[in-house]
A and B are shown apart, each in its own frame.
Chain A
């Protein structure tokens, strides 16, 4: 990847190389922040985030507004070239709708929505290249986008997958490992308190193994949160230097 375009800060975590760039896109004032996140040089993802008052023009959305808090609207979609087989329906299919709903629920747990009554916060996530752990990359990118936008949150939301492959718990599974038939678990964590925002596992697993798996996922999430925190601080330093001038 040419450094002219991405100018990344590369931070290695123990699982996969995480490249994070904040605030790279857009001068449009209404798009408050963007974030590109690259996990293991094979999954690119982008989360763009904006907040706006629900207006009369949007069809039927006046009825969706809540009087005491903000509505969070997530849309997850994949680029048609993101998977090995060309994806015919990038959005609107069941998997995308399920993902959008999960993201919405995850962020409702973390964002302080009471501060923005009668408003809507839109989170648009697009996967440019998929190699496993789609949900976790989405959550991590959206967290950074929310931080970049200045939306108050209870804590960073970090997510990671974990799974058993031949009786060894592994964190951050790639596509081959996920589709290999072993169990995989996706976990979204608020690292400071250790509270789980979302946990999803759809496979057979013995009860005794569950603890080990959650432990592995939590350690990975805490690692990710350190990386995200480092990126945010570095970005703030750069931005404050620029604005000081």
Chain B
């Protein structure tokens, strides 16, 4: 009977739970789904990670290539993030060129990398105007159940922490780059940006970490990205119903707590692989 009610009147179904301050899957309004993280899953990539927030599963693979730096920034390397939402993750997505949501997510990740100063781009440069690293970060969603942006940020962070780049020297005589595969260096990560997504129901109730159903029924979505020093890196609220300043502040506080939880998780996982080696 509940399943029938849910299909016929999904909004009423959710409202009846929200009245009791909880959600259909049993969570509190401010509770995130259990998050699991796995790194070094793909050995062909230079760095990789897989994250699961509830059912949302996202994998990231980092491939590093050598190239010449762009002419307007000759002493910096660059990062190219790309978010892929293939049809296998949800029936919402059709095969073919990347849709709007995938492109918007890719741009959002690029902006977060830029604004949070995640990696010092100068370190990616090997020789000014001649050679630098370009990191292709391919983020792929394997199962879409809401809250894509948070998962993408976490998986990118974990994959970058896990990435190992070989040392490259330029042979003075031949002017060619030589990569020493035996000697690998991890990347230096300056900041730990972590995102928290919220959905607004009926202009007043804010829930944290919406599932795909909740996202489709919500009236507004909001994502806040903070770094480990409690500074804001990005606030993304694409349209929807308006939100008061104090509600926004409340969301930012929740995002700060979430940052600490995720930082601990990422540290724990990186430590465990180091000890395993």
Contacts and interface: CB of A to CB of B under 8 A. Distances in A.
A81 B138 contact: yes
A124 B65 CA distance: 29
A203 B62 CA distance: 34
Given A79-B42, A81-B61, 12 more contacts: A1-B38, A5-B36, A5-B52, A25-B55, A48-B88, A75-B95, A77-B86, A79-B138, A79-B140, A80-B63, A81-B44, A81-B136
Nearest to B41: A1
A28 interface: yes
Interface stretch (A125-133, A194-202, A223-231): A125-133
Interface string B63-91: 10100000000000000001000111111
A148 interface: no
A21 to B, nearest CB: 12
B88 A124 contact: yes
Interface string A54-83: 000000000000000000000101011111
A46 B142 contact: yes
Contacts of A30: 91
B185 to A, nearest CB: 19
Interface of A: 1-2, 4-6, 25-28, 30-31, 34, 42, 44, 46-48, 50, 52, 75, 77, 79-84, 86, 91, 122, 124, 126, 128-131
Contacts of B91: 28, 30-31, 50, 52
A82 B42 contact: yes
B87 A44 contact: no
A79 B60 CA distance: 10
B182 interface: no
B87 A124 contact: yes
B45 interface: yes
Contacts of B138: 79-81
Contact of A25 (B38, B41, B95, B143): B143
Contacts of A82: 42, 44, 61
A2 B36 CA distance: 9
10 contacts: A26-B145, A28-B91, A75-B87, A79-B61, A79-B140, A81-B45, A82-B42, A82-B44, A86-B136, A130-B44
A122 B95 CA distance: 11
A34 B212 CA distance: 18
Contacts of B65: 86
Contacts of A122: 87
B153 interface: no
Contact of B57 (A25, A52, A79, A86): A25
B43 interface: yes
Contacts of B52: 5
B136 A80 contact: yes
Contacts of B95: 75, 91, 124
Nearest to B136: A86
B50 interface: yes
A50 B90 CA distance: 10
B87 A129 contact: no
Contacts of B89: 26, 48
A54 to B, nearest CB: 13
